[in-house]
Structure 1
Amino acid sequence: MIKRYVNILDFVLDIAYLVTEKGLHAEYCQTPSSFHVQEVLDRGVLTERGEYAVLEVRKRGLDTYEALRIMSKEADIPLQNFLVLGLKDKDSTSVQYVFVKRSLLPENFSLERGGVEARVVGFSRGKPGKSALLGNRFKIRFETSHESDHQLAKEIMRLVVEHGLPNYYGYQRFGVKRPVTHLLGKAVLEADSAFFAKMLLSDTTPLESEKSVLSRTLMKFDNSLLYEKMCYEMPPLEDCGLALNKKLRNLYVDAYVSYLFNRLLTRLIDSNKGSLPDTKIPTLGCDRTAYQQLLSEEKLEPRNWGLVKCWYRDSVIRPADPSVGREGNTLEISFTLPRAGYATIVIRELFKENFLVQQIR
């Protein structure tokens, strides 16, 4: 393994190691046209009858929460009744599966509005668990004027499959325009409502849009900054981090746990002299002793340990069924990752510094 931070986010999030120094000459920027993802659903979940309706949802240019809000309004069902197996990026064209109690859904429900299409594809006997999602199939497309990129892409994907990649949590877990989600999670754990509010509402980064920076400067938030708006409108003495809905609060805390995982994984490879061990690594909620040194460095003083969940994560991830196709100057690379695998970690390996992460929204 090669230790090299290819961009500032790598350094901030301790995404440190690469398989090879080789990288494509072309640049890649993630957009709904260049990045496609489809969930791989365990088809054993689907039945002809059941308590839950299963919706296949296709969205473009929206994050999952925004798509759910459109569906909630159209179906006149409270948002919390929709269950998803994973979150999908705003800058993508994605197909995912959404579960809702059949009794709540209007008969013959379908939707095609605001960048969202939804249709019923079956039913499920009960509430689905995360195991119903087997993984995700990704497809990236980009233009290149370099004749060698086709063979080079094949070679890099061969090395990735052969050696495996460090199973880091990718940039989207933490935010790219504002990589602060893990810091918000730390503030929730420490019940530091003042820091949480300051970080969420007013702190800006150079990668944000002018509109976002202006909103934070003037403290005027519309629905494009919905969580900021919700927090700003809360009573002054209310702890915003704890008062936000449970799913959002857990997302922040899990992001901090994921950040610690990245740091631990990098140190594990460091201590193994640059070799990537194939093992399962506990997160903070499973084994605090494994994180003792990191917690000391972080100066973490948690008051809400009960929000930290336990799960184990593989140290190594290998794309399945990779393919590299070419049509003129357009290359298309496809691969499947298991549940909770991040395509950006594969894309980073392919493009190195030519992965324009600063343009991901």
Structure 2
Amino acid sequence: MSLCRSNNLLDLLIAMEYRLLCTGPVACIARPRERSFVVAELPELTIEEDGRYCVYVLAKRGLPSLDAARLLARMLGANPRSVNIAGLKDTGATTVQYACLPCPREPRELVTVPGRLWARLVGRTNRCPRRGVLKGNQFTIVLEPVSATPQEVMEAARGLARAKLPAYYGYQRFGTRRPNTHLQGLALLRGDLALYARELLGNPYPDEGPETARCRATLWRGRGCSESRLYEARVARDAASPGDLARLLPRGVLELQLAALQAYVFNRYLSLRIAHGYSLEERLPGERQVEGRPYAPVPGIGYRLGTGGKAAELLEEALEPLGISLETLAEPPPGLPRLRPYWRPVYTVPEGLRARILPDGRVALSFTLEKGMYATLVLRELAEPPECV
């Protein structure tokens, strides 16, 4: 099946340049979004009676995953850094995921913060769930028809069942409200302090709410602001040269920004691959074949690529407009974390996709995606941001 060029500016910003359906958006995510977008993690857990770690199933609403983990730690009297979560989930959604931490002497069975967080102890383990043990995510999303009837929206959704969708990294990978984390990673790699400061401290998202604008203006030091963003004040105050960034920024933030750059490079690679006329089912020289699917290389930071052929050529083509090369990725500035290269499928297939019309005329959509894939890959075929107004 041929793919269509996207004309959505947000798609183009993160190099998601092609889509499956050419008809354009027929719906939007119903408001309020946090009640119409539900995602649940599907982990592979081994529960052990005498395990040294406690596993909580954690439901959150309107909270970044890292803030939810810190809030859970505070409620349990634990070190916030000791809480392990297997994945970062959408802030503007209701999400169910797993949190793991060393068991306190008397673990609490239930932790609640009304309207924001609910966590229940489900057992003990000797190995905290990490990304590698996740099977995927189950999504349940309510759509509001916009330019089509409910029946047409349902039929369009059902047409995506078992479809081969380009396995792009979705918007959330680059920042839910300000999708520019990859540009921060690019600035780190190029040693460009001015670009980094502009992307980190400026460029508010067009529909930022007043609370977010207030927190940004105070560099997140005001009441009710995200504690996970306090490093911005250190950068604004103390960064005099590019070399200061690795010292001032938490390692986790550096890794997040560089990993977003890796994701952006993959998106550019995939879009170029499609633009050159290669089928999603065709393995190119330099790619791998895993269980019948082509896997493309995602270059590391601080590592040599380790592949060649057409795959290496496409990667160099993807990197050239960014002012970097595979050599730049292999030899980053001192102090930056090293991130390993990896392989990612060229396409993914939604499993168990179902759509039904609700009594109020909206359409409920449910499906499962393998780990590492985003609901955006399905939703962008039917609905474009922002949500209904």
Task: Report TM bin, short chain.
Answer: 0.7 to 0.9
Counterpart of 1:199?
A: 199
Decide whether the 8 Å contact of 2:157 with 2:355 is kept in 1: no
Where in structure 2 are the equivalents of 1:163-178 lying within 5 Å?
A: 163-178=163-178
Decide whether the 8 Å contact of 1:178 with 1:207 is kept in 2: no
1:195 Cα deviation (Å)?
3.1
Decide whether the 8 Å contact of 2:28 with 2:146 is kept in 1: no
Unaligned runs of 5+ in 1: none
> What letter corresponds to residue 42 of structure 2 in structure 1?
V
1:232 Cα deviation (Å)?
1.3
Counterpart of 1:343?
A: 375
SS at match of 1:27: strand
Pick the aligned partner of 1:303 from 333, 351, 356: 333
Q: 1:233 to 1:145 in 2, by over 3 A?
A: closer
2:34 and 2:181 map into 1 onto residues whose CA distance is 23
Q: 1:192 to 1:332 in 2, by over 3 A?
A: same
> What letter corresponds to residue 180 of structure 2 in structure 1?
V
Counterpart of 1:72?
A: 73
SS at match of 2:34: coil
Pick the aligned partner of 2:271 from 255, 266, 270: 266
1:306 Cα deviation (Å)?
5.0
1:83 Cα deviation (Å)?
0.7
Spell out, residue by residue over 1:258-303, the C-alpha distance to the aligned partner (whole angstroms, 9 max, x if none).
0010000011112225655441011011627622222232112542
Q: 1:52 to 1:142 in 2, by over 3 A?
A: same
1:49 Cα deviation (Å)?
2.8
1:169 Cα deviation (Å)?
0.3
Superposed CA RMSD: 2.8
Between 339-348 and 161-170, the greater mean CA deviation after superposition: 161-170
Spell out, residue by residue over 1:98-150, the C-alpha distance to the aligned partner (whole angstroms, 9 max, x if none).
11112x36423421115111111012122434232111000001344888433
Q: 1:227 to 1:189 in 2, by over 3 A?
A: farther
> What letter corresponds to residue 12 of structure 1 in structure 2?
L
Pick the aligned partner of 1:320 from 345, 351, 354: 351
2:129 and 2:372 map into 1 onto residues whose CA distance is 16
Spell out, residue by residue over 1:241-266, the C-alpha distance to the aligned partner (whole angstroms, 9 max, x if none).
55322222211110011001000001
Decide whether the 8 Å contact of 2:47 with 2:125 is kept in 1: yes
> What letter corresponds to residue 32 of structure 1 in structure 2?
E
Counterpart of 1:35?
A: 37
Spell out, residue by residue over 1:32-54, the C-alpha distance to the aligned partner (whole angstroms, 9 max, x if none).
111001111214x2233312111
> What letter corresponds to residue 386 of structure 2 in structure 1?
V
Normalized per residue, the structure richer in helix is: 1
Decide whether the 8 Å contact of 1:54 with 1:122 is kept in 2: yes
Structure number with higher relative contact order (C-alpha < 8 Å, ≥ 6 residues apart): 1
Between 283-292 and 57-66, the greater mean CA deviation after superposition: 283-292
1:198 Cα deviation (Å)?
3.2
2:63 and 2:194 map into 1 onto residues whose CA distance is 30
> What letter corresponds to residue 305 of structure 2 in structure 1?
D
SS at match of 1:357: coil
Counterpart of 1:236?
A: 238
> What letter corresponds to residue 342 of structure 1 in structure 2?
Y
Where in structure 2 are the equivalents of 1:90-105 lying within 5 Å?
A: 90-102=91-103, 104=104
1:268 and 1:46 map into 2 onto residues whose CA distance is 43
SS at match of 2:381: helix
User: How many residue pairs were aligned?
Assistant: 354
1:11 Cα deviation (Å)?
1.1
Decide whether the 8 Å contact of 1:16 with 1:266 is kept in 2: yes
Counterpart of 2:289?
A: none
Decide whether the 8 Å contact of 2:349 with 2:369 is kept in 1: yes
> What letter corresponds to residue 303 of structure 1 in structure 2?
P
Decide whether the 8 Å contact of 2:29 with 2:387 is kept in 1: no
Where in structure 2 are the equivalents of 1:75-90 lying within 5 Å?
A: 75-90=76-91
SS at match of 1:136: strand
2:22 and 2:190 map into 1 onto residues whose CA distance is 40
Decide whether the 8 Å contact of 2:357 with 2:364 is kept in 1: yes
TM-score normalised to the size of structure 1? 0.87
Spell out, residue by residue over 1:189-230, the C-alpha distance to the aligned partner (whole angstroms, 9 max, x if none).
234344323321233343333454465567674352545532
> What letter corresponds to residue 11 of structure 1 in structure 2?
L
Q: 1:298 to 1:147 in 2, by over 3 A?
A: closer
- Over the matched positions of the two proteins, sequence identity in percent amounts to 27
Counterpart of 1:57?
A: 58
Between 252-261 and 187-196, the greater mean CA deviation after superposition: 187-196
Where in structure 2 are the equivalents of 1:7-46 lying within 5 Å?
A: 7-22=8-23, 25-29=26-30, 31-43=33-45, 45-46=46-47
Between 180-189 and 193-202, the greater mean CA deviation after superposition: 193-202
TM-score normalised to the size of structure 2? 0.81
Unaligned runs of 5+ in 2: 283-292
Counterpart of 1:112?
A: 112
Counterpart of 1:254?
A: 259
Counterpart of 2:296?
A: 281
Between 316-325 and 107-116, the greater mean CA deviation after superposition: 107-116
Decide whether the 8 Å contact of 1:203 with 1:216 is kept in 2: no
